[in-house]
Amino acid sequence: MPPRPGQAPRQGPPLAEWLRLPRPEAMPGIWRCDYRPRAAPDPDRTPARQLVSGAVVAFLIAWLIMSLLWNGYLGGYWLWPVNAMTPDAAGTGIRRVLGNAYVFLVFAGIVLFFGRLGRWHELLRRAHRRIAGPATRRSVMAGRQRRPAPPPPPHADPVEWPELRGAGLGEAADRLAEELRSGRMTDVDHARIQRAWQSVRVRPDRLAAFADGVRESGAACCPHPTGERDLPTRAARHDLSLRQVRIGTAADEERNPYEYRGVGLALDPALLGTSALAVGPPGAGKTSRFARPVVEALCLQALAGQAAVLAVSPAGPRLAPDGCFDVVIRLGHPESRYDLDLYGGTTDPDEAAGMLAEALVGDLTDVLPGGDSRRAATLVAQLIGPFAAVHGRFPTVPELRELLDGAPAFEALRTALREREHADQLRELDAYERQSGRTRELPALLADRIALLDRPAFAGFFQPEGRVAPDGTRHRPFSPRALEHPLRVRVDLPERGHAEASRILARLVLAQFTECALARGDQSRFACLVLDDAAQTVTPQALRGLQRLRSGHAGVLLTLRALDDVPQAQRGPLLGAVGCRVACAGITPWDAERFAEVWGTEWVETRTVTNRQLVSDEPLTRVLHAVRRLATGRYVTAESVTVRSEQRERWSASDLANELQPGHAVLSLTTVRGERTPPILTRLGE
């Protein structure tokens, strides 16, 4: 076997040429690297059928006139100029030469006149573009590759690091430029150093340390905590200078807005900050062609210090291989080196109880008091708060189960509080006893749900003090509060045999992420949670958290097989809470109806054509109509056109459910500034 490569294979042009490619401003979601806006449509453009018919009619008339002139059917008066200009003494040869030249000029004038009238030049131009266009484009692209564009002036050349030179760091700029030209710098290095330079501009006291790091390490300066400078492999196209990842190509069809036809589509933190939802059956591409490129892009941005990512999926590298992550948590797997903090890394019992109660019973909106998990959170807080006052930590899963069951552990906790004279915590236990005495259903429900995590497969997991790894080392449990740093984390859920426990853990991670992302002290890095298969995780409390993430420079990407995996009352609010919506090929008509309703209607101009048969009483006209009917096989009709404006759905439910081809999706995007795109038909993965 050949040795494993040390970095991802190089794709595209060298880094210097790639950085010099134009990146003009564009509409939201457009892949801006080397983007060239389409020319504005010509409102006076003649339809192809009308252009061909006009050219043919003009040719026939010109041919008829020249034939009549040549054969003398129109008389010889049209030759009088050449006869008048030819002397009588001229010989026969001279007369013939002058006559032929005159006839040529007359016929050429007829051809030019009718050619202009029939727009032959426009027809030939379109035919040439249609026949030889794609060959032409390949030659142009090959020519670009053979002849790279000349470098811009030094003050505008990104290869020369003009920002550093402007700040007086000429030596550092020379070192980085030499590293870039020699190929020792990657696009991740460039993005990471740019990120570090932005922090230096905010904190000028770091300028000396930055210059020393560049002088000593070159392209490897300002490293990621792991020291890694690239991913083991890449499956998508990335532009780290703009933090974009390409997810597909907009179809060149009339359904799409003119500006988006045929252009690449990409996602970036400005779009993911409004959160995203992708719905489609297995194999539709929502994971492999949409969620996976996003995870890969976020992992690259984390290496550049720009982002932090938490990916949650059923067991296996569905979203990215292990080598792309710093922490891989395999819940229920005995070989897992890491664990998940059941309480989200907080010491506040109310905050910890809110996240845990949301995970345990947040999906049971039909039976919970108030329709959400807030009442359950109060009960949990009244237990774990007194427990933490006695033991200095929150209870483990078995201990919490015993407390909810009302076993002797409850009385033992009360006795310990009396011995330590915690009167305030005793009042909490008394309040819990009064509320649970009125209705025993909620504590019993909490006990039944926590029992799903108190299984032999999870023995040793969810320990507040951390999990002991197979090699004997103890690791602190992971909490989303660590996403304040550029971390790459993947959580594998125990899907097989523990489906209900997986749903509880998925809700727990979602609840912890929405709380911790907003509580970050440094929100300059974009934090994103990618939850593959979010069935039974969308709750009223989760929707409230999704709507608040936009202000915290964070977002969530959810995938669903169908909206039926979400409670009926939450389907509409879910589509309204996310800014980016993706309907993949194969969705059900009921889901398609929801998307069509959310995308709304637009004003369109409709043309109604009515044909009415013409009947004439004049004998000559009737004869002409009969001849025309014999020639064409159709009656002579008069056409009337009615034009009116009306509102129609942008995409109907029938079109979404029945006309989307495999590998396609219809998506709409929204930026954190409120810019929106209409639904766009897209070929994913191109």
Q: What is the DSSP letter of 33?
A: T
pLDDT at 147: 55
Q: Is there a domain that residue 548 lies in?
A: no
pLDDT at 102: 83
Count the domains in the chain: 4
Residues of the chain scoring pLDDT < 50: 1-11, 140, 146
Residues 160 and 215 in one domain: yes
Q: What are phi and psi of 639, to 5 degrees?
A: -105, 130
Q: Is there a domain that residue 322 lies in?
A: no
Cβ–Cβ under 8 Å, residues 400 and 421? no
Which residue from 663, 647, 551 is spatially nearest to 600, judged by alpha carbons? 647
Residues 109 and 184 in one domain: no
Residues 446 and 362 in one domain: yes
Residues 99 and 163 in one domain: no
pLDDT at 4: 43
Residues 108 and 156 in one domain: no
Mark which of 200, 220, 240 sits at the end of a domain.
Answer: 220
Q: State whether residue 252 is helix, strand or coil.
A: coil
Structural domain harbouring 381: 349-458
Length of the chain: 686
Q: Is there a domain that residue 389 lies in?
A: yes
Tokens of 456: 């032999």
Mark which of 188, 220, 252 sits at the end of a domain.
Answer: 220
Residues 92 and 171 in one domain: no
pLDDT at 360: 93
Q: Is there a domain that residue 319 lies in?
A: no
Residues 358 and 414 in one domain: yes
Q: Is there a domain that residue 579 lies in?
A: no
- Contact partners, residue 63, CB within 8 Å, separation at least 6: none
pLDDT at 1: 40
Residues 365 and 446 in one domain: yes
Q: Is there a domain that residue 530 lies in?
A: no
Q: Which residues pair with 279 in a beta bridge?
A: 560, 583
Angstrom distances, CA of residue 351 to CA of 297, 395, 451: 32, 15, 21
State the Cα–Cα distance between residues 413 and 393, nearest whole angstrom.
Answer: 13
Residues 356 and 441 in one domain: yes
Angle, CA 148 vertex, CA 145 and CA 152 arms, to 5°: 150
Mark which of 75, 92, 118 sits at the end of a domain.
Answer: 118
pLDDT at 217: 93
Q: State whether residue 94 is helix, strand or coil.
A: helix
pLDDT at 142: 53
Q: Is there a domain that residue 299 lies in?
A: no
Residues 366 and 444 in one domain: yes
pLDDT at 627: 66
Cβ–Cβ under 8 Å, residues 357 and 382? no
Residues 354 and 436 in one domain: yes
pLDDT at 546: 93
Cβ–Cβ under 8 Å, residues 671 and 271? yes
Q: For the residues of 257-320, what is the DSSP string, one character each? A: -GGGTT-EEEE-HHHHTT-EEEE--TTSSTIIIIIHHHHHHHHHHHHTTSEEEEEEEESSSSSS
Q: Is there a domain that residue 513 lies in?
A: no
Residues 93 and 185 in one domain: no
Angstrom distances, CA of residue 309 to CA of 272, 294, 346, 482, 672: 12, 10, 20, 11, 19
Tokens of 431: 């309040």
pLDDT at 549: 94
Strands (E), 454-508: 467-468, 474-475, 488-493
